[in-house]
Chain A
């Protein structure tokens, strides 16, 4: 019964930058070790599993392409949750968390797009087609870049946070479009074969390395995300200090 207020206190406590910094110091080594361990196992499974009877060895591209696409969408979802937190509660840590997710999401989306093109060339005979899945994923990449550009263009962090939070929340409409594009439209891209209602359509031989690489990518995302939030907290602290120091110097001169 008393667990709910306890949990609420824990979350509120975590949302304090000083508490977050303390926690991140303890959490980051464990997350980094987990990432390295999962990548080692994932890469071993990726290259030791059987090849597909039709695709041959190119099926191995799936073990980096699919987790990168999952992370691209997870990153945007995380960014949206934080943008809502920033808009509704004006919480500075929510703004920090939304801001630092954008470059990570852009990197995962870029990997997903390019590895998809590399997989597409031998399988479809072309690097790129403007079908619904590929186009919606490309739109996601452009949105990440747009969000990054707005953050850099607006000097006032509070104003930048408000403007981008609105854009992020509106842009979330693209996430279900990406997910269901293969069901709603006729696409060259194959339909969902892992995250679907009837259960995974993949054989366990392919599913095992894919899931382990999925965990590895998630651990990498968590590590980079926590470290980036910590860096952004420090950066803002230093900017505040520099501004105060400049103001004090100007005051002394007058």
Chain B
């Protein structure tokens, strides 16, 4: 099937050409990797804030 005969990707039956497969593979990879990175980064930020808040609460007691 040539490019001009091909049905649109999101209407009717799903017909994918080779470029679509490549795009799907790269998109999936980067979505998963970015999600994993963001999850690690946000949980790190949350824990860091709590640890710093804890350290600030302890600090005045140590200064006395």
Chain A residues close to B by CB (< 8 Å):
56-58, 60-61, 64-65, 68, 103-104, 107, 110-111, 114-115, 118-119, 121-122, 220, 223-224, 227-228, 230-231, 234-235, 237-238, 241
Do A231 and B44 touch across chains, with their CB atoms under 8 A apart? yes
Do A122 and B24 touch across chains, with their CB atoms under 8 A apart? no
Task: For residue B37, give the distance in angstroms from its CB to the closest CB of chain A.
Answer: 6
Do B47 and A57 touch across chains, with their CB atoms under 8 A apart? no
Do B36 and A118 touch across chains, with their CB atoms under 8 A apart? no
Cα distance, A227 to B39, chains bound together (Å): 11
Q: Is there a chain A Cβ closer than 8 Å to B19's Cβ? A: yes
Q: Which residues of B have CB within 8 Å of A121?
A: 16, 21
Given the known A-B contacts A231-B43, A234-B48, are A115 and B36 also in contact in the complex, defined by CB atoms under 8 Å? Answer: no
The main secondary structure of chain B at its interface with chain A is: helix
Chain B residues close to A by CB (< 8 Å):
16, 18-19, 21-22, 24-26, 28-29, 32-33, 36-37, 40-41, 43-44, 47-48, 50-51, 54
Cα distance, A230 to B41, chains bound together (Å): 11
Task: For residue B55, give the distance in angstroms from its CB to the closest CB of chain A.
Answer: 11
Do A114 and B36 touch across chains, with their CB atoms under 8 A apart? no
Q: Which residues of A have CB within 8 Å of B21?
A: 58, 61, 118-119, 121-122
Task: For residue B1, give the distance in angstroms from its CB to the closest CB of chain A.
Answer: 12
Task: For residue A196, give the distance in angstroms from its CB to the closest CB of chain B.
Answer: 24
Name B36's contact: one of A104, A122, A235 (CB within 8 Å).
A104
Counting residue pairs across A and B whose Cβ atoms lie within 8 Å, the total is 72
Do A224 and B36 touch across chains, with their CB atoms under 8 A apart? yes
Do B22 and A60 touch across chains, with their CB atoms under 8 A apart? yes
Do B40 and A64 touch across chains, with their CB atoms under 8 A apart? no
Cα distance, A111 to B16, chains bound together (Å): 20
Q: Which residues of B have CB within 8 Å of A110?
A: 32
Given the known A-B contacts A107-B32, A111-B32, A220-B33, are A230 and B44 also in contact in the complex, defined by CB atoms under 8 Å? Answer: yes
Name A227's contact: one of B19, B22, B33, B41 (CB within 8 Å).
B41
Cα distance, A65 to B32, chains bound together (Å): 13
Q: Which residues of A have CB within 8 Å of B25?
A: 60-61, 64-65, 114-115, 118-119
8 new A-B pairs (CB below 8 Å) besides A64-B26, A224-B40, A227-B44? Answer: A104-B36, A107-B33, A111-B33, A114-B28, A115-B28, A118-B21, A118-B28, A238-B50
